[in-house]
Structures are given as C-alpha cells and as structure tokens.
C-alpha cells in the first residue's frame, strides 16, 4: 500500500473513533501523546496513566490503536459500538 493511501486510510480510522473518545469525555489530540521510537514502533500515552505501545505505520494509526486500546480497557461499551459500526 502506498504511503499516501495508507495515511488516508489511517486518518479515516482515527476520524471514526473521535465520537467515542469525545463521549468518553476526552479530546483526541489534546488528551493523549504519541511517541515514535524506532521505525514502526510507537507509544501512546493516554488519560489516567494509560499506555499502549506497538506497531503502527504512522502517527495516525498509532493514535487510533492507542485510543481503541484505551476504550477497550476503560469504556468497553463505546469500544463495542465502534467494533460493531454503530458509532
């Protein structure tokens, strides 16, 4: 997948998770930080001391995966709605 196509896709994923993050009372870009460690390894530092680290192609995908992991751990109902395509 070309880099621009991949970035467009991961930005769309992140856009899809924004409503759930806002319902949970957070702001996607203000309440979390993403750090790029090495090649395709990132760390997401979210609210309340939550951390996710793993593989992502870019910052958008890392932020999406981090927010999804946060929602799964702390707001399972919102995470389930996203997974089911209901939010």
Q: Give tens-digit pLDDT for 46-64.
A: 999 999 999 999 999 999 9
* Strand pairing report for 41-45 and 51-55: antiparallel
Residue 72 has pLDDT above 80, yes or no: yes
The DSSP 8-state label assigned to residue 48 in this structure reads G
The span from the CA of 37 to the CA of 75, in Å, is 27
Q: The whole model's pTM is what?
A: 0.88
17-38 pLDDT, tens per residue? 999 999 999 998 888 999 998 8
Tell me which residue range forms the domain holding 30: 3-83
Number of structural domains (the chain) is 1
Task: Give, for 51, the enclosing helix (H) or strand (E).
Answer: strand 51-55
Q: Please report where in the chains the tokens 């751990």 appear, as a residue.
A: 73
The span from the CA of 7 to the CA of 72, in Å, is 24
């Amino acid at each position: 997948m070309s880099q621009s196509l991949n970035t467009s896709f991961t930005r769309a994923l992140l856009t899809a998770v924004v409503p759930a993050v806002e319902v949970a009372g957070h702001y996607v870009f203000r309440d979390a930080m993403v750090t790029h460690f090495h090649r395709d390894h990132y760390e997401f530092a979210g609210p309340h001391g939550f951390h996710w680290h793993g593989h992502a192609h870019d910052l958008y995908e890392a932020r999406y995966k981090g927010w999804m992991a946060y929602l799964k751990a702390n707001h399972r109902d919102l995470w389930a709605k996203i997974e089911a395509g209901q939010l």
